[in-house]
A and B are shown apart, each in its own frame.
Chain A
Amino acid sequence: MSDISLVAALWWAVIVSGLYHGLNPAMGWPLAVSSALMEKKRTALIYALAALSAGHFMAMMVILLPFSMMTTLVYWEREVRIGAGLILIALGIYLLVVRRHPRILSRVPPSRLALWSFLVAMAHGAGLMLVPIYLGICAPQHQDAGHLASGSLMAGNIGTAFLVGVTHTAAMTLAGGALAAGTYFWLGLKFLSKTWFNLDTVWAVSLIVVGFLGLISTHG
């Protein structure tokens, strides 16, 4: 695969994982429906989605920014990518074995949706899932010589982390928002229990898969 098409594929991965997170009821779109119904206002749907998005975006940033700084250490870039892949695989295995949901999540009041969305994305490794993809996009083989100068590399990497976070969150909001609006305006709440599938196993496995892909990419 050429570098350009690889980078394009990685950007698609950012978008697809965003859609995947958005469609998962466990990431919160039913709460936007509930908000709009409780307040009897359509705008409440938008506010709730905005809060869920803000929390999700913050979680992406909290995870991606430290890695964006680490990749300025171009000489250890491979080690960073291996480390990130291993962390992701470890979290996936942990989630497979320990099926319990952290109690802290159920202690967040329904009025603090952004905080809840942030914590749920952190607890489920939604941000970590983006790390190998992000590291692939920032890999030095995709950079020209000018950008490899450390100052511009750092600025570039932070910018890329930001862009990855924004793109991913936008896809997540679009998918979750479409389901929330569809449920609120047309489908009704019966749709909620009809379409909710247990993604716990799929989720944990997808963390492991992305982790492995991250590891394999270090041999490229």
Chain B
Amino acid sequence: MSIRPDPTFHATAKLAMAAPVENLAFTLMLSPDGSQPDGIAVVDVDPKSKNFGEIVSSLFMPNKGDEFHHFGWNACSSALSPLTGHAFLERRYLIVPGIRSSRIYVIDVKDPMNMKIHRTIEADEILEKTGYSRPHTIHCGPEGIYVSTLGGGGEDGTDGPPGIFIMDCETFDVLGRYEMDRGAQDKHYDFWWNLPRDYMVSSEWGLPPQFENGIVPEDLLSNKYGHSIHFWDLRGRRNIQTIDLGENHQMALEIRPAHDPAKEYGFCGVVVDTTNLEGAIFTWWRDEDGKFHAKKTVTIPPVPADADDLPELLKGFSAVPPLVTDIDLSLDDKYLYVACWGTGEMHQYDVSDPMAPKLAGKVEIGGIVAKHKHPNGKEFGYGPQMVEISRDGKRVYWTNSLYSTWDDQFYPGERGAAMVMADVGENGGLTLNKDFWVEFPDGYRSHQIRLEGGDCSTDSFCYPSV
């Protein structure tokens, strides 16, 4: 506990944009075959530093087979609401779940050059106290740290639905399930909220048997992956509405509400439409009566391809689907970045009018068939995946791995880890930075990125940007 609020907490998204820029990034590294322990790399992202784009510190776990996927901060700007009562937490710990082991590490990064494991929470404890497994997205909020999970109980995580559990934000004890009434929700993926308006939105991927050993083509073609988003009374912990985006909209993944809580809309990325292989963005919003709605506002078509150039899974389609696997919204709510992992493109949409996004910039790198090279001449294995935007909105970072077994299906053979950065133009537009290319240790893949001082996909604000 400190005397003053953490200087990286900001009342509004606008104040966060004006804060000092990031000098370091934390990137997850995973060993896809579990032969080495997973780790966290600290990447120097200060263009004035002689180590720009290099890993300057790393920490590897004591266990193997965790499969790091998503992670998050123990505390963020949401602590500045008196309602939470946690104004004096420090943004100091990274909460890192192993999606395969169901183990959670609490990593102290106060000294990023000398990171330490502060606490390890084993799968048994989580299962016993919550009935959940496969922890996934982390957000700090009113009651502490909220962790979404992809699996329920039992051997294969299908004994009961997955959901969200809450951890104490000081001791990191697992406190218990979040849901009092889950309504129709029976699968999980991402979640986020509007704190002053007191609602939460959650999404769906699939249950562990549908993702752990790779994508199950029969389940995909019979539309058995998640295609609904759920709205919740955040503090009442009850599902208040579920919107089915249509069963052909398979895998409704990332939920990105406007950062300014005065705006009552947000976006959700859909990986693939099984009727035409399109990727899609839905805009969801709340009307004056408090009812939620969702509408498809962006479609990204597949690219025709020769069956010989395609992996087994896609041969029958003679096309590469864009596969919208991650989206991220800049702090001014102006640009939505959309990773097209299949076609190897990063799209930038101007979403000033959230109901009518306009393509404002595009970068081509990697891709199943296109295999675009980085401007430095190096091969970018896989496609653009986990994306993170600098607080000031001027730099966009991304890595290339989706999920070990899925990487192998869509991109057979080992393609190597990558992390790149693109500069954003004054009036939009996106250009890959030639000088930024991170080399990762052999045998690793790279996943989610967190920025020193907070980022666009973790911080929640309690006051409107005015």
Contacts and interface: CB of A to CB of B under 8 A. Distances in A.
Contacts of B88: 198, 200
A196 interface: yes
Interface string B1-22: 1111101011110010000000
A190 B11 contact: yes
Contacts of A26: 82, 85, 87
A38 B466 CA distance: 10
Interface string A177-220: 00000000000011011001110100000000000000000000
B1 A200 contact: yes
Contact of B1 (A25, A102, A198): A198
A100 interface: yes
B143 A37 contact: no
A103 B462 contact: no
Q: Is the interface of B mostly helix, strand, loop or mixed?
A: loop
B81 A34 contact: yes
A33 B82 CA distance: 12
B84 A106 contact: yes
Interface residues of A, number: 33
Given A107-B142, A111-B198, A193-B9, A116 B87 contact: no
B463 interface: yes
A101 B1 contact: no
B86 interface: yes
Interface residues of B, number: 38
B235 interface: yes
Given A26-B87, A27-B82, A33-B463, A193 B196 contact: no
A34 B5 contact: no
Contacts, number: 94
Contact of B143 (A28, A103, A200): A103
Contacts of A190: 11, 15
Nearest to A190: B15
Given A37-B466, A101-B86, A198-B4, A106 B235 contact: yes
Contacts of B86: 101
B87 A189 contact: no
Interface in A31-81: 31, 33-34, 37-38, 40
Contacts of B2: 198
Interface in B256-312: 261-262
18 contacts: A27-B82, A30-B463, A31-B81, A34-B196, A34-B462, A101-B85, A105-B83, A106-B83, A106-B84, A108-B235, A110-B195, A110-B198, A189-B15, A192-B11, A193-B80, A197-B3, A198-B2, A198-B87
Contacts of B235: 106-109
B459 to A, nearest CB: 13
B160 interface: no
Interface of B: 1-5, 7, 9-12, 15, 80-88, 142-144, 168, 170, 175, 195-198, 235-236, 261-262, 462-464, 466
Contact of B87 (A25, A103, A111): A25
Given A26-B82, A106-B85, A109-B198, 6 more contacts: A37-B262, A38-B464, A103-B144, A106-B235, A109-B235, A196-B5
Interface string A94-133: 0000011111011111110000100010000000000000
Contacts of B198: 109-111
B463 A34 contact: yes
Contacts of A100: 168, 170
Nearest to A116: B83
Contact of A31 (B3, B7, B82, B464): B82
A193 B11 contact: yes
Nearest to A100: B170
